[in-house]
Structure formats: structure tokens, C-alpha cells
Amino acid sequence: MATNKLDELSINTIRFLAVDGVEKAKSGHPGMPMGDAAMAYALWSKHLRHNPKNPKWPGRDRFVLSAGHGSMLLYSLLHLTGYDLTLDDLKNFRQWGARTPGHPEYDLDCGIEMTTGPLGQGFATGVGMAMAERYLGERYNRDGYSIFDYNIYAIAGDGDIMEGVTNEAASMAGHLGLGQLIYLYSDNKITIEGSTDIAFTEDVKGRFDAMGWHVQKIDGMDIEAVSSAIDAAKAETGRPSLIIARTNIGFGSPAKQDDCGAHGSPLGPDEVMAAKNNLGWPTEPTFHIPDEALANFRGAVDRGAELEKDWKDKFEAYSKAHPEQAAELKDFEAQGFVGAIGAIPAFTPEDGKVATRVASGKVLNAIAANTPFLIGGSADLGPSNNTAIKAEGSFTRDEAGRNIHFGVREHAMGSVLNGMALSGLLVPYGGTFLVFSDYMKPAVRLAALMGLQVVYVFTHDSIGLGEDGPTHQPIEHLAALRSIPNLTVIRPADANETANAWRLALTRTDGPVALALTRQGLPILESKEETVDRGAYILADSEGQTPEIIIIATGSEVHVALEAYKVLTDDGVKARVVSMPSSEIFEEQDEEYRNEVLPPDVRRRISVEAASTLGWGRYVGLDGISIGLDRFGESAPAGTIFKELGFTKENIVGKARTLLGDKINK
């Protein structure tokens, strides 16, 4: 190992901060930081362009710890290089309220670029980060002014490399030639159940070669080798780079090095002692940071300040040379989509029946014509999802157009959207059928957990898709999505609710929005202002009187609810129809509004939604009825399925009569 004394001291500082942190928390993953410290040190000390005193500097390189369980490696590096993460934070590892949770959580204030832990997500999200860099660079960079010009580094483990989402994202990255990606794969041959040989014997280099990556195999414990490999990766700008670095999990631990016992539990006091002795480290005090090592790491502060200053000077000059471009960027940071929102069209009943997916396509195009910061595509269902921005080109290897072809890779799409959103300058959207939201769920969850502004265009939102049948008909998906904290699900009932849903998606900056849109045409409802803003609203009512019965519906079922309402009203029943495009938003309203829409005393309630009834008990209570689908769908024309499965005015009226029976009996 060509490691000088200071390097070694610095690397061991990382190792034992991690070891001591895990030991103090009595839980965590010491093996990875011990094994990957050298490699991480090589990257952070010799290559990573960052400014610890301004983690939000837009020109910085990104570092993603895809193997998130090695969080103490990242926390140690952040503290040592001078980020706003104290030694006390490190000592507080995995404790209530700490900034150092078990797995890294997105927190730019202290330099954590994204939440990781669920394997494969860091790897795949980085691909989105690179696509954002490519898009922004191509749009805004000018000769002599490389404003957006950074690399995305990551450390990934065996688990990342095995996950399917990684392969999807890697295939995309190779296809697009994303040279900004420089990934270190810590090939330590150990997984939780033992040697990787028990499950994973493929030729990783061969697989990534085949997907168009630039692949190197090196000794990951040799910082010169790591540094040279990173140099070669930086020089290769036309292909993403994977550096397969042989590492030793639990390096330094006499009993646990290269053993799965080092992975997910503290070493234990005796083994900590043995490891410290083995690597010539003082056993006391814990959390020891030698002054020379600290000074060495903290060099990052001055280097970072200089890097950012150079960038700022360049941006200043750029602003003068290209004021229009600079203004576009500054305006977006200041105002978001205010201008583009004004371009959202309105629809009238004269438009005839419009599928909400078609309305969505029109709205999207109107918005996109007025802002460059909305970018997206579909997982090979563009023509069905209506996700194309018609005036714009495709995102290809040669040109970063605004229409992304994700291929049949829903999961990678979800992660890539997250990566693009993390740029802070783009709001990305992605389309697929609602039923296939399943394939990307782990990425949707991470968007919600990180609070990222991402828009999902989930079309073909019910049995209304018809003939494709049960495999393609979502049943449980609305409930599943609604149960995710901080995800707003909107199922609009017509083109105008769709327009409002998009408006809301553009203004909701602290979490993702999922649109559930019909395949089939729907009439335009009598226009209501801002229908979606309050989550639910009274669409038809019993003219000023307290209703005897309330029908609550969403999406396409609002129309059949209206038909039932007419029958009931004609029969003298005081009925109300509530359109509830978003229960999450409705729940955020004040009690007064909620009680106005759903008066607590009105207990005869029927929900109508062509989906799992799970969740509707909250609104219909113990005395109401949910018309829904607690079964899988059928393959047939949509009209037939709706009729056969009870989404008819007759069925709703019948259920209403059942509820109203007690009125008669009383």
C-alpha cells in the first residue's frame, strides 16, 4: 500500500470514529467504514470538489453513499472535513433527534446529498443527478462558462450491485453515456448471510462492460490505485465509470475482518481494543482525532472556499455575458413556476368527453412551453401516458432534450426522477400505468421521505382501462399510495380538476404528487374554482338544506355518483355529492371546512371508487357503505366491467335506499 503516514493516520481516524460511533450506539455497521475508509479518503482528499462551508454550492461534485448502512463513514468525513456536523453529533449516532440517524437522511445543511439505505437507490438516483447536470449544462453552459460541470461520485456495495433497480439505471446510464458518473463498487465479497459466493458469482465487470460502462478493477485498499482509477474515470467523459475496488470488510479487526460478523453489529469492546491495537491506534480516548489528521482533512475548507469563489466569479462574468440565461436561472430560484402556471388551460363542457390523461397531456404541454425546468418522460408508455412535450426533443446520448425515454424501467425511472429533483432546479415527472407504480414504489417512498418535488403521471387508473384485464387494472394502488406519508395523491374527476392538480403539483415544493388519470373519456363538470386546493368539495347539493345522504366519489366515479344524485333528487331525497380528488389535502383543511363538506351528523354516506375500499371507512364510518373493489378486475370493455362490478347509478341508488331505510323505519 502506497500510503504515507499522514494518509494512514487520516484513514484510521475515519475507521475508528465509525467503530466508536457504532460501539457507543450499541448498533450499526462498522465493517463497511473500516473497509472503505481508504477508498473514501482517496476520493475526498484528492478529487471531490466541494465546499464544507457551503454544502449547497450548485457547482459542487455530488457524493452519494449508496451503501447507506455505512453511514458512519459519511458522518466521519463530513465532520472531519469541516461540515456543520459536530463530534457530539457523531457521538449521538442513532439517538433520538440526532443529525446522525442509522442511515443517512437527506440534509444539505450538513452535506448529506440524499437519503440512502434501501439498496440500489443511491446508485440509481445518482444517474438522475448526472442527467440533471447534463441537461442544465447543455442548456446554460456557454463557451468559457461551464456553470454546470460536476461529477457524481458514489460508493456502492454488493447489495447495490445485485438489486434490479441498479441494473435498470446502469443500462440507462450506459445508453446515455453519462461520463459524469464515477462509482466505486466496494467489492468486499461479504454479505449478511456470508460470502457473496453463496448467491452472487456473476462477472460484474462483464455485465457493466456490456452496458457500456468504463470498468476498472483495482485494489481498493491502495489509495494510489484508487486515485489513479478516479483520474482515468474523470478522463473518460463518454461513458459512466465503475471502479470495482477489492476491499476488506472490517479491515483491521483481527477476528472479524473479511467476515459477515463485521457487517451489522458493533465489534464488541474486546474486538474494538484488538482492532485498535492491531492498527496502532490509541485505545483511549474514544472518538480520538489526531491533530495532524484533523488539519489534513480540514484543508478541504480552504480548498472549497477557493473552488466556490472561482465558480462564483465565473457565474458573475456569465451573468454579464449571458444575462438572459442567468436571469432564467435566478427567476426560477426566486419564483418557481409562477409564470408557467398562468398558462394552464381551462376546459368547458363544450370540449366533450376528455380523458384525464389527455387533459394532463394538454396541461403539461402548456406548462412546459413556459418553463424549461419541467422535464420528464415515461417508462415506454409515452403515447398512452400523454407525457411527451411535443415541441421538444428527446434526451439522448448526443442531446439533452426534455423528453426522457426511460425504457421499460419503472423503478429506475422513479430513482432517476429523485436524482433530477435533487438538483433543486428541476421538477421532474414520470409516467406509467397506475398498476405499475408497484414497480417503482421504493423510489416513490424515498421521494416522500426526502420531501422532493416530483410528479408521477399514473394513467389507466382503474378497471376503466378495460380489456387489458386484471394484470393491468389497479385495485389496491390508490390505497397503497395514500398510505405513504408526505405523498399527495390526486385523482381528478375531469379535465379541470386535472388542470388544478397539475397547478398544485407545481406549487407543492416539499413532497411528491401522484396523479391518477383515466384512460377513458369523462365529461367536463360544471366549472368550480380551485377544485383540488381543498382536497374535496361539494359538487352537487340539496339546495341549502342539510343532506340526508352524502355520496363521496373520486375520478371517473364522480360522474356515476352525479347520475345517482339526479335519481335520488328526483325522488325527493336530499342528497349531496362530494368530489374528493385528494383525501390527503382534505385532511389538511381546518375542521370547519371539513365539517361543512361532511357534516358529522350526516351518517348516511356512500363512497364510490373503483378501487380497494381500504381507507374509506374513515369517511363513511360504521353506518355508511363503500362501493369499491375488494377483488381483482376483469378483462372486458370498460363499460361492461363498470356495470358488472356495480359502478352504476342503479347500484348506488339501491345502496342509498338501504341506508335511507332507517329513515322510513323511524
- Return d(Cα 174, Cα 163) in angstroms, integer: 17
Long-range contacts of 565-574 (CB under 8 A, 24+ apart): 565/540, 566/649, 567/649, 567/653, 568/653, 568/656, 569/542, 573/548, 573/549, 573/656, 573/660, 574/542, 574/545, 574/546, 574/547, 574/548, 574/549
584 tagged catalytic: no
Measured from the CB atom, the residue of 29 and 276 that comes closer to its own copies is 29
Pairing of strands 403-405, 374-378: parallel
Binding flags for its own copies, 66-95, as an x/- string (CB under 8 A): --x-------------------------xx
Pairing of strands 513-516, 488-490: parallel
Beta strands in 299-395 (DSSP E): 354-355, 374-378
For residue 53, give every residue at least 6 positions away whose Cβ sits within 8 Å of its Cβ, in sequence order, or none: 82, 301, 304, 305
Question: Annotated catalytic residue: which of 410, 497, 548, 557?
Answer: 410
The strands making up 549-553's β-sheet, listed across from edge to edge, are 537-540, 575-579, 549-553, 605-608, 625-627
With contact defined as beta carbons under 8 Å apart, do 180 and 130 qualify?
A: yes
Grid coordinates of 371:
418553463
- Return d(Cα 196, Cα 186) in angstroms, integer: 12
CB 643: neighbour CB atoms within 10 A? Answer: 14
DSSP-assigned letter for residue 465 = G
Minimum gap (Å) between residue 630 Cβ and its own copies? 6
Minimum gap (Å) between residue 340 Cβ and its own copies? 25
With contact defined as beta carbons under 8 Å apart, do 419 and 412 qualify?
A: no
Which one of 39-47, 102-110, 240-248, 563-571 is the stretch in contact with its own copies (CB under 8 A)?
102-110
| Window 197 to 226, contacts with its own copies (CB under 8 A) | 198-207, 209-212
| Window 228 to 257, contacts with its own copies (CB under 8 A) | none
Minimum gap (Å) between residue 33 Cβ and its own copies? 16
Grid coordinates of 19:
467503530
Describe the chain by its helix, strand, coil percentages, rounded to 5.
Answer: 45, 15, 40
Binding flags for its own copies, 349-388, as an x/- string (CB under 8 A): -----------------------------x-xxxxx----
| Window 481 to 540, contacts with its own copies (CB under 8 A) | 482-486
Minimum gap (Å) between residue 434 Cβ and its own copies? 13
Residue 466 in contact with its own copies, rule: CB under 8 A: yes
Minimum gap (Å) between residue 93 Cβ and its own copies? 9
Measured from the CB atom, the residue of 53 and 643 that comes closer to its own copies is 643
Minimum gap (Å) between residue 304 Cβ and its own copies? 28
Residue 661 in contact with its own copies, rule: CB under 8 A: no
Measured from the CB atom, the residue of 319 and 613 that comes closer to its own copies is 613
For residue 254, give every residue at least 6 positions away whose Cβ sits within 8 Å of its Cβ, in sequence order, or none: 271, 274, 275, 278
With contact defined as beta carbons under 8 Å apart, do 516 and 491 qualify?
A: yes
Minimum gap (Å) between residue 325 Cβ and its own copies? 28
**Which residue is listed with cell 447536470?**
133
Residue 588 in contact with its own copies, rule: CB under 8 A: no
Binding flags for its own copies, 21-60, as an x/- string (CB under 8 A): ----x-xx--------------------------------
Considering only CA atoms, which of 610, 640, 636, 606 is closest in space to residue 623?
A: 606
Element holding 508 (H helix, E strand): none
Find the binder of its own copies among 3, 6, 8, 102 (CB under 8 A): 102
DSSP-assigned letter for residue 395 = B
Looking at the DSSP bridge assignments, the partners of residue 429 are 376, 455
Minimum gap (Å) between residue 60 Cβ and its own copies? 24
With contact defined as beta carbons under 8 Å apart, do 515 and 488 qualify?
A: no
Looking at the DSSP bridge assignments, the partners of residue 521 are 355
Minimum gap (Å) between residue 433 Cβ and its own copies? 10
For residue 147, give every residue at least 6 positions away whose Cβ sits within 8 Å of its Cβ, in sequence order, or none: 58, 59, 136, 137, 140, 141, 311, 314, 315, 318
Measured from the CB atom, the residue of 141 and 384 that comes closer to its own copies is 384
Find the binder of its own copies among 171, 186, 257, 518 (CB under 8 A): 171
Residue 479 in contact with its own copies, rule: CB under 8 A: yes
Measured from the CB atom, the residue of 123 and 332 that comes closer to its own copies is 123
- Taking each helix axis from N to C end, the angle separating 323-335 and 121-140, rounded to the nearest 10 degrees, works out to 140
Measured from the CB atom, the residue of 65 and 562 that comes closer to its own copies is 65
Which one of 271-279, 313-321, 322-330, 438-446 is the stretch in contact with its own copies (CB under 8 A)?
438-446
Measured from the CB atom, the residue of 27 and 527 that comes closer to its own copies is 27
Which one of 111-119, 221-229, 356-364, 422-430 is the stretch in contact with its own copies (CB under 8 A)?
111-119
Which one of 116-124, 344-352, 367-375, 553-561 is the stretch in contact with its own copies (CB under 8 A)?
116-124
Find the binder of its own copies among 88, 109, 193, 530 (CB under 8 A): 193
> CA 259, 203, 2: angle at the middle one, nearest 5?
60
Residue 407 in contact with its own copies, rule: CB under 8 A: yes
Minimum gap (Å) between residue 481 Cβ and its own copies? 9
| Window 606 to 645, contacts with its own copies (CB under 8 A) | 612-619, 621-623, 629-632, 634-637, 640-641, 644
Indicate which residues carry an active-site annotation.
410
